[in-house]
Structure 1
């Protein structure tokens, strides 16, 4: 929910898009379905054969198959629950390995003036290339399980790592881009000069927004449905409190401890 003033529908749509790029999480279509290791087959696991040609037996077997299929459908929510739980466990495990690998990799880099013995000077990009192999495997596995690998190329990761090393950023600061999926503007693919969106509304776009106005913004797989509601008018009346209503007395009895 956002507070917005009296704007036209077109101006309100532009304002909503600014908030979208600032506050929303990056939409990942690959996570619409929780990844699962199990491969479900569409074929039924039950087979029956009519050897004697008895129709009653055929009907009985049919009912048994349908009952078993219904039970399997009823247990689908349990399978989904355990799949999501297992997926979250795997993500936490890969995340812990990635954080550990990044912390160990950053310990191998020091500023040249901090090194006492002989050393070969490297610029930030060369330093990033030297420590990247030690954390590449853990980062690749984490990006794969979180379905982020289409968004990050090796060159963009090296460039981000070089910037973090040049400014003495911590390993956590380097990983923040991959561990946190918001805001949308941090996505490298969103860094374009012009973002094209479609605006759908039943009213003229030049008209002001009113309570009940609904419009939709579309871009590829992303759809933002926006509805406008009016904030109610507040009627505030002064209430006078009696001066003696804020006074207290202490009542003592035989069981009161003072």
Structure 2
């Protein structure tokens, strides 16, 4: 009886050790699979990002901003002079495919429609912004939610604060805005001193032409 009990105990111990070893191997395999999946995803994102940056920088070289004196003296046909919307549409096509692939790879396609990208592109070229400034919205991680103008629920937020809501803002004050499962934590910081000037720009002066002499084609 003693030998039988000892044999059963040894068998149980051996089975337990085998199960622990098998579980350890599964954990190692899961760790390796996760590592390689993450590495592959990072590689794909870097590749899509590089192609997007190059495509946007090349697209921006296809347009030239016209000044008032150039518009008045230009011998070109009037149809060749474009407003910001037309200029944005003209250079959007070369970058659209790279943009779509990058947004799909980074799982942002649900948050940036082609129309919103085109509108942002129009804003950037109107204000002489660089390709890097245009891309910042898509390359820099940010909130993953958008406001729907047709929905009134998107404006129903709850303010949570240790300070009374009637008190003024001060440096270091922290409060949060909550809606459903989202929470936006706000920290109050002072703005730097800015010396502001004023310069009037006629909206009708935003005119562009295509750079037909560019090495790359649209």
User: Does the CA-based 8 Å contact 1:151-1:187 persist in structure 2?
Assistant: yes
SS in 1 for 2:64: coil
Instruction: Quote the offset at 1:187 in angstroms.
Output: 6.4
Q: CA deviation at 1:92?
A: 1.3
2:134 is aligned to: 174
The alignment yields a C-alpha RMSD, in angstroms, of 4.2
User: Does residue 1:101 correspond to 2:55, yes or no?
Assistant: yes
- Aligned residues, how many? 161
2:35 is aligned, of 81, 102, 121, to 81
Alignment pair present for 1:132 and 2:86: no
> Residues 154, 78 of structure 1: CA spacing in aligned structure 2 closer, same or farther, 3 A cutoff?
same
2:30 is the counterpart of 1:72: no
1:131 & 1:107 partners in 2: Cα distance? Answer: 9
Q: Distance in 1 between matches of 2:89 and 2:111?
A: 20
Within the candidate set 65, 68, 71, 1:111 is matched to 65
1:82–1:171 Cα change, 3 Å: same
Distance in 1 (alpha carbons) for counterparts of 2:85 and 2:145: 21
Residue in structure 1 matched with residue 212 of structure 2 by the alignment: none
Distance 1:199 1:166 in 2: 36
Q: 1:120 aligns with which of 49, 57, 79?
A: 79
Counterparts of 1:129 and 1:137, CA distance in 2 = 14
Larger Rg: 1
Give structure 1 stretches of 5+ with no counterpart: 1-59, 207-214, 227-258
Which ranges of structure 2 fall in alignment gaps of 5 or more residues?
A: 1-13, 166-174, 187-218
Deviation string for 1:135-181 (max 9, x for gaps)? 00100111111111111111111111111111221111111111112
Question: For the Cα contact (< 8 Å) 1:151–1:189, is it kept in 2?
Answer: no
Match of 1:137, SS?
Answer: helix
In structure 2, relative to structure 1, the CA distance for the partners of 1:176 and 1:199 (3 Å cut) is closer
* Aligned CA distance change for structure 1 residues 189 and 81 (closer, same or farther; 3 Å): same
Shift of 1:222: 2.3
Measure, in 1, the Cα distance between the counterparts of 2:133 and 2:25.
Answer: 49
- Which aligned segments of 4 or more residues in structure 1 are displaced greater than 6 angstroms? 63-66, 190-194
Instruction: String of CA shifts for 1:57-93, please: whole Å, max 9, x gaps.
Output: xxx9xx9798545512233222222222221221111
Mapped partners of 1:119, 1:85: distance in 2: 52
Could you say which structure has the higher strand fraction? Answer: 2
Map of 1:37 onto structure 2:
none
